[in-house]
Structure 1
């Protein structure tokens, strides 16, 4: 610099308390998702969010209101297209068998390709909290309501076991949540290739094939 002031000092000064953030909203929310997924809600502090976003400590409060409000914005962003995509998928299926198979393949591919949201769901699903209430009301219940008629029809036809709804929910979604467990998958991988470098769709399809073989075997 011509005046001898270090470039990084000027940059830090320019990014003042109320300076505009040169980052698209989707990038802000994606970084928030990655942080909540890695550290959990309790472990994610406003200071750590500010550090990872490269903003002032007041940024989250000024733009979103609170950490909880920011968490909700992150979840809404990550899952905004999930139910519309599922509704379109179901509308194009011919029968109940195809609906359930398509849902499981679709769900597992989503889980495999967005491990951050998958980790967040896995973590929050094990905690009784207002955040789980929000996830249930906005996403989990609409998802299950959309496929419950298909499940009920398949139970009545004897195609899948007649067990309580929450057991079937675990059977369908549990393996999808497991797709977030890359660290243990790395240790079990026979080729020593990091799971992150595998074809994520191929992993999801292999898992859905195993689940469907037991849950909904081919018709005789």
Structure 2
């Protein structure tokens, strides 16, 4: 019998490849190397197993993101948080595929992802954004626009085959960290460029 961490990792691999609807209980059990009734016996349902898989992958990511530091400028705070999010994507690239599968479906799973993981990250970003807007350094930006300004560049951390065709050498950990920093700086600078001070040439 595989240990718990192996089961959750194999579950992540299965959901990333098959999607939630494509992964029948029987197919999941086969890929986990367990009996056909294991998921119901251990987790109660396929939905509960999916939540356990997601929690295993995302809880550590959320905990590892930089904590708010009142001593830092809000733009720098925002950059550090976004860069940390991009770096965490490298550690668990399969969860990105799971998220892409779920973001376009109006389901209880999307509610779970949003309430448990997306909303806390967005709230931390929004706090810095609100202060930057109040200071005239950034134009007001709707929360959905902020989300879609920040999230799509994460593909730059995950799409290795395409990145190589665009000229990126085989990445090292140091190079991926540098890429995360660069992407985060580009995103934050783009958001700040909409501010009154930038428009005024300050």
TM-score by length of 1: 0.77
Report if aligned partners of 1:108, 1:176 keep a CA contact under 8 Å in 2: yes
Following TM superposition, the consecutive aligned residue runs of length 4 or more in structure 1 with deviations greater than 6 angstroms are 194-198
Report if aligned partners of 2:79, 2:185 keep a CA contact under 8 Å in 1: no
Q: Where does the alignment leave 5 or more consecutive residues of structure 1 unmatched?
A: 1-20
Aligned to 2:105, the other structure's residue is in SS state: coil
Report if aligned partners of 1:124, 1:131 keep a CA contact under 8 Å in 2: yes
Aligned to 1:159, the other structure's residue is in SS state: coil
Distance 1:80 1:180 in 2: 19
Report if aligned partners of 2:39, 2:45 keep a CA contact under 8 Å in 1: yes
Question: Residues 174 and 89 from structure 1, CA distance in 2 versus in 1: closer, same or farther, beyond 3 angstroms?
Answer: same
1:89 paired residue number: 67
Larger radius of gyration: 1
Q: Deviations over 1:52-109 (max 9, x none)?
A: 21111111111111111100011111122333333x5223752212210111110111
Structure 1 residue 51, shift from structure 2 partner: 1.7
Partner of residue 170 from structure 1, selected from 144, 148, 152: 148
Structure 1 residue 210, shift from structure 2 partner: 2.7
Aligned residues: 196
Report if aligned partners of 1:155, 1:162 keep a CA contact under 8 Å in 2: yes
Report if aligned partners of 2:75, 2:188 keep a CA contact under 8 Å in 1: no
Distance 1:118 1:146 in 2: 20
Structure 1 residue 30, shift from structure 2 partner: 1.1
Partner of residue 208 from structure 1, selected from 184, 193, 197: 184
Q: Where does the alignment leave 5 or more consecutive residues of structure 2 unmatched?
A: none
Question: Residues 125 and 204 from structure 1, CA distance in 2 versus in 1: closer, same or farther, beyond 3 angstroms?
Answer: same
Aligned to 2:13, the other structure's residue is in SS state: helix
Is 1:129 equivalent to 2:102 in the alignment?
no
Partner of residue 8 from structure 2, selected from 9, 24, 29: 29
Residues 16-95 of structure 1 aligned to structure 2 (within 5 Å):
21=1, 23-86=2-65, 89-91=67-69, 94-95=72-73
Residues 91-110 of structure 1 aligned to structure 2 (within 5 Å):
91=69, 94-110=72-88
Report if aligned partners of 1:29, 1:74 keep a CA contact under 8 Å in 2: yes
